A = this chain, B = another copy of it.
């Protein structure tokens, strides 16, 4: 019998989401387990994950013989080595290189393919979403951080060591803001959810201009607050998206000079502010890009349902197994 189903696993700092997926990208059933209750005991976490996967498969009315394999998206997941290595937000992998794929494969008895979250998102968009039919595109995930997955000729670019596609950490401003990675002026320091909130706090403290954002607790000011204010027409909030979109568009122009993609595909919490980001982003990209690419590269937004997107992305990896 053909193996017409795959399992997707999205490993996050607090929770791990598991889902069984068919070839059309329908999630047949989902489970969530905690990722943060195992301390540094990777084996215990993998054991719990394996059990949840098996349960999920039987809940979908399937047997392990029906499953092609398990695709996993995890922070610092390495496609080549199958390791999750030194991932600060995962206690069981914070100080070690955990042979994740090997351990999970042994525990479940199904083949495992692993990569990082942004690469998984790229594969998901290609299999089921906005990048269907595209062979060359760059996925940018705008979440707490900025991640990327680069697709060349229909395949994710992994590079010499499996870590290619860290576009959140290219310099957009020399000697600019300190980034969490230790560098300065990274794209992520400006254009992530945290980055735009940082810009907001800077601007609010630099002027007296009235803004709804002044009503928020400044220490907890989030990209969601800025979005809500922009929806209500708040000028500073709108300018924050214009500025952030412009920085993104300029960065995209440089990315295009690298791999000449047909599109930039956006995903993640901050990408939900599509109506405020799209135009400044597109304008800045076309103003900054080399002439041969002017008005030729599309910016598109993920078309996957937000709740399922991470599972779908991870699951799509398993079709290649």
Contacts and interface: CB of A to CB of B under 8 A. Distances in A.
A260 B291 contact: no
Interface string A128-149: 0000000110000000000000
B260 A162 contact: yes
B260 A158 contact: yes
A257 B170 contact: yes
A250 B291 contact: no
A216 to B, nearest CB: 30
A46 B257 CA distance: 30
Nearest to A255: B258
Interface in A139-184: 150, 152, 157-167, 169-171, 173-174, 181-183
B250 A171 contact: yes
A2 interface: no
Interface in A246-266: 250, 253-255, 257-262
A296 interface: yes
Contacts of A258: 150, 164-165, 167, 170, 255, 258-259
Nearest to A173: B174
B166 A261 contact: no
A183 to B, nearest CB: 7
A266 to B, nearest CB: 18
A287 to B, nearest CB: 9
A171 B288 contact: yes
B261 A160 contact: yes
A55 interface: no
A290 B181 contact: yes
A262 B136 contact: no
A208 B262 CA distance: 50
Given A152-B157, A290-B183, A167 B261 contact: no
A292 interface: yes
A296 B161 contact: yes
A232 to B, nearest CB: 32
6 contacts: A150-B259, A152-B157, A159-B261, A160-B260, A161-B296, A166-B292
Given A171-B254, A254-B254, 9 more contacts: A150-B259, A160-B261, A160-B262, A161-B260, A163-B260, A163-B292, A167-B258, A169-B290, A183-B288
Interface of A: 135-136, 150, 152, 157-167, 169-171, 173-174, 181-183, 250, 253-255, 257-262, 288, 290-293, 296
